[in-house]
Protein backbone atom coordinates (compact mmCIF):
# COMPACT_ATOMS: atom_id res chain seq x y z
CA UNK A 1 0.00 0.00 0.00
CA UNK A 2 1.47 3.34 -1.04
CA UNK A 3 1.67 6.14 1.51
CA UNK A 4 1.10 9.60 0.02
CA UNK A 5 0.71 12.97 1.79
CA UNK A 6 -2.95 12.27 2.50
CA UNK A 7 -2.12 9.07 4.36
CA UNK A 8 -3.48 10.22 7.68
CA UNK A 9 -6.86 11.00 6.16
CA UNK A 10 -7.19 8.89 3.02
CA UNK A 11 -5.01 7.00 0.58
CA UNK A 12 -4.30 7.91 -3.01
CA UNK A 13 -3.12 10.87 -5.05
CA UNK A 14 -2.91 14.29 -3.48
CA UNK A 15 -2.87 17.92 -4.50
CA UNK A 16 0.47 19.65 -3.91
CA UNK A 17 -1.23 21.96 -1.41
CA UNK A 18 -3.14 19.16 0.32
CA UNK A 19 -4.16 20.39 3.79
CA UNK A 20 -4.28 18.35 6.92
CA UNK A 21 -7.71 16.91 7.56
CA UNK A 22 -9.94 19.50 9.22
CA UNK A 23 -10.67 16.85 11.86
CA UNK A 24 -7.36 17.90 13.36
CA UNK A 25 -7.39 21.63 12.61
CA UNK A 26 -9.89 24.49 12.78
CA UNK A 27 -8.48 25.75 9.47
CA UNK A 28 -6.49 24.29 6.61
CA UNK A 29 -2.75 23.90 7.07
CA UNK A 30 -0.62 22.14 4.43
CA UNK A 31 1.26 19.01 5.48
CA UNK A 32 4.54 20.37 4.18
CA UNK A 33 5.79 23.70 5.49
CA UNK A 34 8.95 25.75 5.20
CA UNK A 35 10.85 26.53 8.41
CA UNK A 36 12.94 29.67 8.91
CA UNK A 37 14.93 28.72 12.02
CA UNK A 38 18.67 29.33 11.54
CA UNK A 39 18.27 30.95 8.13
CA UNK A 40 20.68 33.87 8.12
CA UNK A 41 19.35 37.35 7.54
CA UNK A 42 21.54 37.79 4.46
CA UNK A 43 19.60 35.19 2.47
CA UNK A 44 16.33 34.71 4.39
CA UNK A 45 14.36 36.85 1.93
CA UNK A 46 15.65 34.88 -1.05
CA UNK A 47 15.00 31.53 0.63
CA UNK A 48 11.41 32.37 1.62
CA UNK A 49 10.63 33.77 -1.81
CA UNK A 50 12.11 30.64 -3.42
CA UNK A 51 10.00 28.43 -1.15
CA UNK A 52 6.79 30.17 -2.17
CA UNK A 53 7.75 29.97 -5.82
CA UNK A 54 8.53 26.26 -5.40
CA UNK A 55 4.99 25.68 -4.12
CA UNK A 56 5.17 25.84 -0.32
CA UNK A 57 2.02 27.29 1.20
CA UNK A 58 2.96 27.00 4.86
CA UNK A 59 5.67 29.14 6.49
CA UNK A 60 6.96 28.85 10.05
CA UNK A 61 8.55 31.89 11.71
CA UNK A 62 9.46 33.13 15.19
CA UNK A 63 10.58 36.32 16.89
CA UNK A 64 13.68 34.67 18.39
CA UNK A 65 14.92 33.63 14.96
CA UNK A 66 15.92 37.26 14.43
CA UNK A 67 15.06 37.25 10.74
CA UNK A 68 11.38 38.18 10.56
CA UNK A 69 11.94 41.45 8.71
CA UNK A 70 13.86 39.59 6.03
CA UNK A 71 11.29 36.80 6.01
CA UNK A 72 8.59 39.43 5.54
CA UNK A 73 10.35 40.84 2.50
CA UNK A 74 10.64 37.29 1.15
CA UNK A 75 6.92 36.74 1.67
CA UNK A 76 6.05 39.87 -0.27
CA UNK A 77 8.42 38.98 -3.10
CA UNK A 78 7.36 35.34 -3.21
CA UNK A 79 3.65 36.09 -3.25
CA UNK A 80 4.14 38.45 -6.17
CA UNK A 81 6.37 36.13 -8.18
CA UNK A 82 4.31 33.00 -7.45
CA UNK A 83 1.12 34.94 -8.20
CA UNK A 84 -0.63 33.73 -5.06
CA UNK A 85 -2.72 35.58 -2.51
CA UNK A 86 -1.82 36.04 1.16
CA UNK A 87 -4.92 34.02 2.04
CA UNK A 88 -3.47 31.03 0.15
CA UNK A 89 -0.51 30.76 2.56
CA UNK A 90 -0.56 29.55 6.17
CA UNK A 91 1.86 31.64 8.25
CA UNK A 92 2.87 30.79 11.82
CA UNK A 93 4.95 32.79 14.28
CA UNK A 94 5.71 32.53 17.99
CA UNK A 95 5.69 34.51 21.22
CA UNK A 96 9.14 34.60 22.81
CA UNK A 97 9.89 34.09 26.51
CA UNK A 98 10.70 37.72 27.25
CA UNK A 99 7.13 38.82 26.48
CA UNK A 100 5.12 36.42 28.65
CA UNK A 101 3.98 39.17 30.97
CA UNK A 102 0.35 39.85 29.93
CA UNK A 103 1.09 43.56 29.51
CA UNK A 104 3.70 42.73 26.85
CA UNK A 105 1.93 40.05 24.81
CA UNK A 106 0.06 42.31 22.38
CA UNK A 107 3.19 44.39 21.88
CA UNK A 108 5.03 41.24 20.81
CA UNK A 109 2.29 40.31 18.36
CA UNK A 110 2.15 43.78 16.84
CA UNK A 111 5.92 43.79 16.34
CA UNK A 112 5.77 40.40 14.64
CA UNK A 113 3.05 41.57 12.27
CA UNK A 114 5.02 44.72 11.51
CA UNK A 115 8.23 42.80 10.87
CA UNK A 116 6.51 40.27 8.63
CA UNK A 117 4.47 42.93 6.83
CA UNK A 118 1.22 41.12 7.61
CA UNK A 119 -2.24 42.07 8.84
CA UNK A 120 -2.80 38.74 10.59
CA UNK A 121 -1.23 35.40 11.49
CA UNK A 122 -2.87 32.07 10.75
CA UNK A 123 -1.29 30.67 13.91
CA UNK A 124 0.54 32.21 16.88
CA UNK A 125 2.33 29.81 19.21
CA UNK A 126 3.76 30.19 22.69
CA UNK A 127 7.33 29.15 21.91
CA UNK A 128 8.10 27.64 25.35
CA UNK A 129 6.21 27.25 28.64
CA UNK A 130 8.95 29.47 30.05
CA UNK A 131 8.91 33.20 30.71
CA UNK A 132 11.52 35.65 31.89
CA UNK A 133 10.69 37.18 35.28
CA UNK A 134 10.27 40.95 35.05
CA UNK A 135 11.72 41.25 38.55
CA UNK A 136 14.87 39.15 38.13
CA UNK A 137 15.18 38.46 34.43
CA UNK A 138 15.58 34.78 35.27
CA UNK A 139 13.68 32.06 33.42
CA UNK A 140 10.74 30.41 35.15
CA UNK A 141 7.88 28.13 34.20
CA UNK A 142 5.23 30.64 33.19
CA UNK A 143 2.46 30.16 30.66
CA UNK A 144 -1.09 30.51 32.05
CA UNK A 145 -1.27 34.31 32.20
CA UNK A 146 0.47 34.71 28.84
CA UNK A 147 -1.97 32.22 27.32
CA UNK A 148 -4.94 34.16 28.68
CA UNK A 149 -3.55 37.27 27.01
CA UNK A 150 -3.21 35.31 23.76
CA UNK A 151 -6.82 34.17 24.14
CA UNK A 152 -7.97 37.79 24.22
CA UNK A 153 -6.00 38.56 21.07
CA UNK A 154 -7.49 35.48 19.42
CA UNK A 155 -10.82 37.32 19.50
CA UNK A 156 -9.37 40.08 17.33
CA UNK A 157 -8.62 39.97 13.61
CA UNK A 158 -4.86 39.72 14.28
CA UNK A 159 -4.74 35.93 14.87
CA UNK A 160 -6.77 33.07 13.38
CA UNK A 161 -5.50 30.31 15.72
CA UNK A 162 -3.35 30.03 18.84
CA UNK A 163 -1.23 27.14 20.01
CA UNK A 164 1.79 26.03 22.00
CA UNK A 165 5.23 24.54 21.51
CA UNK A 166 7.46 22.34 23.66
CA UNK A 167 4.93 21.66 26.43
CA UNK A 168 4.95 18.60 28.68
CA UNK A 169 1.83 16.48 29.32
CA UNK A 170 1.30 18.06 32.74
CA UNK A 171 1.71 21.58 31.36
CA UNK A 172 -0.70 20.94 28.49
CA UNK A 173 -3.29 19.49 30.88
CA UNK A 174 -2.87 22.44 33.24
CA UNK A 175 -3.27 24.93 30.40
CA UNK A 176 -6.44 23.33 29.09
CA UNK A 177 -8.03 23.07 32.54
CA UNK A 178 -7.37 26.73 33.35
CA UNK A 179 -8.32 28.26 29.99
CA UNK A 180 -11.31 28.76 27.72
CA UNK A 181 -9.42 28.04 24.51
CA UNK A 182 -7.70 24.75 23.78
CA UNK A 183 -4.50 25.01 21.68
CA UNK A 184 -5.21 24.43 18.00
CA UNK A 185 -1.67 23.16 17.36
CA UNK A 186 1.25 21.87 19.39
CA UNK A 187 4.64 22.19 17.70
CA UNK A 188 7.33 19.82 18.94
CA UNK A 189 10.51 17.99 17.99
CA UNK A 190 9.63 14.86 16.01
CA UNK A 191 11.81 12.68 13.79
CA UNK A 192 12.71 8.98 13.53
CA UNK A 193 15.10 9.34 16.50
CA UNK A 194 12.28 10.90 18.59
CA UNK A 195 8.96 9.64 17.20
CA UNK A 196 6.77 10.54 20.22
CA UNK A 197 4.00 8.33 18.82
CA UNK A 198 1.93 8.06 22.01
CA UNK A 199 2.19 11.79 22.62
CA UNK A 200 1.03 12.50 19.06
CA UNK A 201 -1.89 10.09 19.41
CA UNK A 202 -2.94 11.81 22.64
CA UNK A 203 -3.11 15.14 20.81
CA UNK A 204 -5.22 13.70 18.03
CA UNK A 205 -7.64 12.33 20.63
CA UNK A 206 -7.91 15.84 22.05
CA UNK A 207 -8.40 17.37 18.61
CA UNK A 208 -5.07 19.21 18.76
CA UNK A 209 -2.96 19.15 15.60
CA UNK A 210 0.77 18.53 15.72
CA UNK A 211 3.57 20.19 13.77
CA UNK A 212 6.98 18.49 13.73
CA UNK A 213 10.08 20.65 13.87
CA UNK A 214 13.60 19.36 13.22
CA UNK A 215 12.29 16.58 10.95
CA UNK A 216 15.90 15.86 9.93
CA UNK A 217 17.01 15.51 13.56
CA UNK A 218 20.74 16.02 14.10
CA UNK A 219 21.27 17.22 10.56
CA UNK A 220 20.44 20.63 12.05
CA UNK A 221 23.83 22.33 12.69
CA UNK A 222 22.46 23.98 15.85
CA UNK A 223 22.62 20.69 17.68
CA UNK A 224 26.13 20.26 19.05
CA UNK A 225 27.32 16.67 18.60
CA UNK A 226 27.91 14.70 21.78
CA UNK A 227 29.34 11.30 22.60
CA UNK A 228 26.93 8.49 21.85
CA UNK A 229 24.85 10.45 19.36
CA UNK A 230 23.20 8.42 16.59
CA UNK A 231 24.49 8.89 13.05
CA UNK A 232 23.23 11.90 11.12
CA UNK A 233 19.65 11.05 10.25
CA UNK A 234 20.08 11.64 6.54
CA UNK A 235 23.03 9.20 6.62
CA UNK A 236 21.06 6.53 8.49
CA UNK A 237 21.37 3.26 6.60
CA UNK A 238 17.67 2.40 6.92
CA UNK A 239 16.58 5.72 5.42
CA UNK A 240 19.16 5.45 2.66
CA UNK A 241 18.05 1.93 1.76
CA UNK A 242 14.39 2.95 1.62
CA UNK A 243 15.28 6.05 -0.40
CA UNK A 244 17.13 3.91 -2.94
CA UNK A 245 14.22 1.46 -3.20
CA UNK A 246 11.62 4.23 -3.70
CA UNK A 247 13.75 6.50 -5.87
CA UNK A 248 13.53 9.31 -3.34
CA UNK A 249 16.15 11.09 -1.25
CA UNK A 250 16.68 10.36 2.44
CA UNK A 251 15.27 13.82 3.25
CA UNK A 252 12.11 13.09 1.30
CA UNK A 253 11.71 9.75 3.06
CA UNK A 254 12.02 11.45 6.47
CA UNK A 255 9.37 14.00 5.53
CA UNK A 256 6.88 11.42 4.24
CA UNK A 257 7.36 9.42 7.45
CA UNK A 258 6.67 12.61 9.41
CA UNK A 259 3.35 13.47 7.83
CA UNK A 260 2.24 9.83 7.69
CA UNK A 261 1.31 10.28 11.36
CA UNK A 262 -1.07 13.10 10.48
CA UNK A 263 1.38 15.84 11.40
CA UNK A 264 2.62 18.80 9.41
CA UNK A 265 6.40 19.02 9.02
CA UNK A 266 8.54 22.14 8.61
CA UNK A 267 11.97 21.40 7.10
CA UNK A 268 14.22 24.39 6.53
CA UNK A 269 16.99 25.16 4.09
CA UNK A 270 18.67 28.25 2.73
CA UNK A 271 19.69 26.46 -0.48
CA UNK A 272 17.27 26.59 -3.39
CA UNK A 273 18.20 23.07 -4.50
CA UNK A 274 17.34 21.64 -1.07
CA UNK A 275 14.16 23.73 -0.87
CA UNK A 276 13.01 22.13 -4.12
CA UNK A 277 14.22 18.69 -3.06
CA UNK A 278 12.20 18.83 0.16
CA UNK A 279 9.10 19.97 -1.70
CA UNK A 280 9.59 16.98 -3.98
CA UNK A 281 8.68 14.78 -1.00
CA UNK A 282 5.09 15.29 -2.13
CA UNK A 283 5.90 12.93 -4.99
CA UNK A 284 7.68 10.36 -2.83
CA UNK A 285 5.59 7.28 -2.05
CA UNK A 286 6.43 4.79 0.67
CA UNK A 287 5.08 1.34 1.43
CA UNK A 288 3.57 0.48 4.79
CA UNK A 289 6.58 -1.70 5.56
CA UNK A 290 8.88 1.26 4.90
CA UNK A 291 7.10 3.29 7.54
CA UNK A 292 7.24 0.40 9.99
CA UNK A 293 10.97 0.03 9.36
CA UNK A 294 11.48 3.72 10.11
CA UNK A 295 9.32 3.42 13.22
CA UNK A 296 11.79 0.84 14.49
CA UNK A 297 14.83 3.13 14.24
CA UNK A 298 14.15 4.67 17.66
CA UNK A 299 14.49 1.23 19.29
CA UNK A 300 18.20 1.49 18.54
CA UNK A 301 18.57 5.27 18.67
CA UNK A 302 16.40 7.48 20.89
CA UNK A 303 17.53 11.07 21.16
CA UNK A 304 16.02 14.48 21.89
CA UNK A 305 18.30 17.16 20.48
CA UNK A 306 16.53 20.33 21.63
CA UNK A 307 16.34 20.48 25.41
CA UNK A 308 17.39 23.81 26.99
CA UNK A 309 16.44 22.72 30.53
CA UNK A 310 19.91 23.52 31.88
CA UNK A 311 20.05 26.86 30.09
CA UNK A 312 16.66 27.93 31.45
CA UNK A 313 17.13 26.38 34.88
CA UNK A 314 13.77 24.60 34.69
CA UNK A 315 12.84 21.00 33.93
CA UNK A 316 11.23 20.56 30.54
CA UNK A 317 9.55 17.63 28.80
CA UNK A 318 8.65 15.73 31.99
CA UNK A 319 6.96 12.46 31.12
CA UNK A 320 8.15 12.40 27.52
CA UNK A 321 10.72 10.37 25.60
CA UNK A 322 14.34 11.20 26.35
CA UNK A 323 13.47 14.07 28.71
Q: Is 65 a catalytic residue?
A: yes
Alpha-carbon span 159 to 242, nearest angstrom: 40
Alpha-carbon span 263 to 259, nearest angstrom: 5
- 305 has which bridge partners? none
The helix or strand, by DSSP H or E, that contains position 287, with its residue range, turns out to be strand 286-287
The number of C-alpha atoms within 13 Å of 262 and in the hemisphere containing its C-beta is 24
CA dist list (Å): 78 to 44, 85, 262, 277, 284? 12, 10, 27, 18, 25
The count of other CB atoms within 10 Å of the CB of residue 17 is: 19
DSSP 121: B
The number of C-alpha atoms within 13 Å of 124 and in the hemisphere containing its C-beta is 29
> Could you tell me if 211 and 184 are in contact, meaning their C-beta atoms sit under 8 angstroms apart?
no
Alpha-carbon span 199 to 319, nearest angstrom: 10
The count of other CB atoms within 10 Å of the CB of residue 14 is: 16
Q: Which of 65, 143, 193, 213 is catalytic?
A: 65
Sequence-distant (6+) residues with CB within 8 A of 253 are: 239, 242, 243, 246, 284, 286, 290, 294
- Which are the catalytic amino acids? 65
Amino acid sequence: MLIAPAAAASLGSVDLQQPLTTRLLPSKIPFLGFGTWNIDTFNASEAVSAALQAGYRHLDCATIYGNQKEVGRGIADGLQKAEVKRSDVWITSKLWNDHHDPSLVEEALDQTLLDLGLDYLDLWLMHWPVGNSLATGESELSYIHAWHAMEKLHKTDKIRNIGVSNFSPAQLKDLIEKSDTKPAVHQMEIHPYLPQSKWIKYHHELGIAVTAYSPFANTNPTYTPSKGDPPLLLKNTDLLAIAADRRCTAAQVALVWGWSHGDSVIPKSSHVSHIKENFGALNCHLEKEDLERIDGISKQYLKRFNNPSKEYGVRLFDGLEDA
